[in-house]
Amino acid sequence: MSNRIITYSEAIREAIGQAMEADPSVFMLGEDIGIYGGAFGVSGDLYHRFGAERIRDTPISELGIVGAAVGAALVGMKPIVEIQFSDFTAQAMDQIVNQAAKIHFMLGGELSVPMVLRAPLGSGTGAAAQHSQSLEAWFAHVPGLKVVMPATAQDAKGLLLSAIDDPNPVIVLEHKLLYKTSGPVTEDAVRTPIGVSHVAKHGKDAVVVATGVMVSRALEAAAILAEKGIDIAVIDVRTLSPLDMGPIEDAARATGRVLLVQEAPKHVGFMAEVSARLAEGRSLYYLDAPIKRLAGLDVPIPYAPQLERSVVPQIDNIVSAVEDLMREP
């Protein structure tokens, strides 16, 4: 089993290609995923490898596309829907929330919807408020959806492969800024399990819990903090639903200090759930400082680069937040 350095988007493309080779029921549908290669270039050459039937270009009809995927999934296909920007899932919410998420439960358990919905999320590209949101909490709030946010190229491949295998609808939220980043990725179709949080770095002084692009920012912050003599652990949540609190609880107990970092606005965000679970559990007794959240400002994402940077956590914000946390009595 060999590793190469490839990009996050190449890793996603490789996962789709391997899944499509292995299983004729896997196919992809979305806007401009064919000859164009996808708005972010993720589908790339898949159209040339698998043809227009299985790399299926669609009209600009998000609700129709997701609904078609639900219907196809109900009768034995394994569709992978690409939504160009996760913001546009708003057009498709009925099919995601009222149909896909509920069919298995609401219709008594005979039917299920083995569908994957991939969509890029996040800011940092100057695309402004309608193309830059982090809406993961919307999906995580709906019973019946699994929600994953790969933070590395390996997990972009591994979580997607697990999502395709899964007999339930899985929302895969890919961060736009990660598409061009690279990392070691296994050539084989190695699965990253859904529902398992990952210790990205061990550390003894504090733990930073993060999702998506905030994982790499937390790791960079860890390097800076190490030079200052502060050793932090970093947990990559990877799967938001179902949530694995195990490694988070362990690290909270071991370090006594917890910083929760998300790009999305703080108010009613995903990390509020992590915070509540920590506070409700016995780990609370091990803490030396109150649980802290570092999150996006509660504003729409602005256009200007200096404005955009100022509304979501950057590496230096994480460094200072950890230093503040260490100063707590």
Partner 1 sequence: MTNTIDPLLAHPGQELSANAETARTTLQGMWAVRLFEEAVDSLFARGLMHGTMHLSIGQEASAIGASAALRATDFITSTHRGHGHCIGKGADLTRMMAELLAKQTGYCRGRGGSMHIADAATGNLGANGIVAGGIPIAAGAALAQKMQGKDNVVMCFFGDGATNEGAFHEAVNLAAIWQLPVVFVCENNKYGMSFSTEKSMHVEHVADRAAAYGIPGVRVEGNDADAMYLVCQEAVDRARSGNGPTLVESVTYRWKGHSKSDKNLYRTKEEIEEWRAKDPIVQFENKVIERGVLTREDVDAIAAITRDKIRVAIQEATTAPDSDPAELLSSVFRAVQA
Q: Which residues are catalytic?
A: 62, 131
Contact characters 194-213, partner 1, x per CB under 8 A: x-------------------
The Cβ of residue 303 has, within 10 Å, a number of other Cβ atoms equal to: 12
Stretch near partner 1 under the rule CB under 8 A, chosen from 14-22, 71-79, 216-224, 278-286: 71-79
Would you count residue 105 as binding partner 1 (CB under 8 A)?
Answer: yes
Strands 3-7 and 182-186, sheet pairing = antiparallel
Would you count residue 98 as binding partner 1 (CB under 8 A)?
Answer: yes
Instruction: In angstroms, give the least distance from the CB of 194 to partner 1.
Output: 8
DSSP reduced 3-state for 319: helix
Would you count residue 192 as binding partner 1 (CB under 8 A)?
Answer: no
Beta-bridged to residue 189, according to DSSP, are none
Residue (242 or 305) nearer to partner 1, CB: 242
Q: Which 254-273 residues touch partner 1, going by CB under 8 A?
A: none
Stretch near partner 1 under the rule CB under 8 A, chosen from 92-100, 127-135, 250-258, 281-289: 92-100
Q: Which of 7, 43, 123, 168 binds partner 1 (CB under 8 A)?
A: 168
Residue (124 or 158) nearer to partner 1, CB: 158
Q: Which of 37, 124, 144, 212 binds partner 1 (CB under 8 A)?
A: 144
- For helices 8-22 and 153-165, the axis angle rounded to 10 degrees is 30
CA distance 240 to 261: 13
CA distance 235 to 248: 7
CA distance 99 to 76: 17
Would you count residue 110 as binding partner 1 (CB under 8 A)?
Answer: yes
Would you count residue 41 as binding partner 1 (CB under 8 A)?
Answer: no
Contact characters 4-33, partner 1, x per CB under 8 A: ---------------------x-x------
Q: Residues 128, 183, 238, 147: is their CA dihedral positive or negative?
A: positive
CA distance 170 to 96: 10
Would you count residue 329 as binding partner 1 (CB under 8 A)?
Answer: no
Nearest residue to 248 via CA among 238, 113, 67, 264: 238
Stretch near partner 1 under the rule CB under 8 A, chosen from 66-74, 124-132, 197-205, 231-239: 66-74
Residue (126 or 195) nearer to partner 1, CB: 195
Nearest residue to 86 via CA among 57, 66, 115, 114: 66
Instruction: In angstroms, give the least distance from the CB of 149 to partner 1.
Output: 18
Would you count residue 103 as binding partner 1 (CB under 8 A)?
Answer: yes
Q: Is 9 exposed, middle or buried (0-12, 13-18, 19+ CB in 10 A)?
A: buried
Question: Quick check: 239 and 196 in contact, CB under 8 A?
Answer: yes
Residue in the structure block whose two tokens are 């789709």: 16
Using CB under 8 A, list all residues that contact partner 1: 25, 27, 53-54, 58-59, 61, 63-77, 79, 94-95, 98-99, 103-112, 143-144, 146, 165-168, 194
